[in-house]
Amino acid sequence: MTHQPNQDDRSRLVVIKRYTMPQEAWLDADLLRSRGIECEVDGATGGGVLPFIQGQVSLIVPRAAASEAVRIVPGAAWQEED
């Protein structure tokens, strides 16, 4: 059964990496998805059209998968909150 996120789940999403180039974010997202980890790329719209907003692209994963995602994605980091 596929898990459908609800509003509470969205509050449990964390950023594990930020990018200046949206293409890099999409490659890392594909890597995570190929390993069964759900993720989102946020802020990728407009980077090619408005290059001055680059650096505002984020790779986002569910908090429950963050530790594993950080091990998979080169340069990713996440600090667990208490």
pTM as predicted: 0.74
Alpha-carbon distance of 73 to 24, in angstroms, equals: 11
Q: Does 13 or 81 have the greater pLDDT score?
A: 13
Give the pLDDT score at 3.
43
What burial class does residue 3 get, using C-beta atoms within 10 Å of its C-beta: 0-12 exposed, 13-18 middle, 19+ buried?
Answer: exposed
> 8-37, pLDDT tens digit by residue?
555 699 999 999 888 999 999 999 999 999
pLDDT confidence of residue 53: 55
Q: Tell me if 48 sits within 8 A of 24, measured CB to CB.
A: no
H or E segment at 33?
helix 22-34
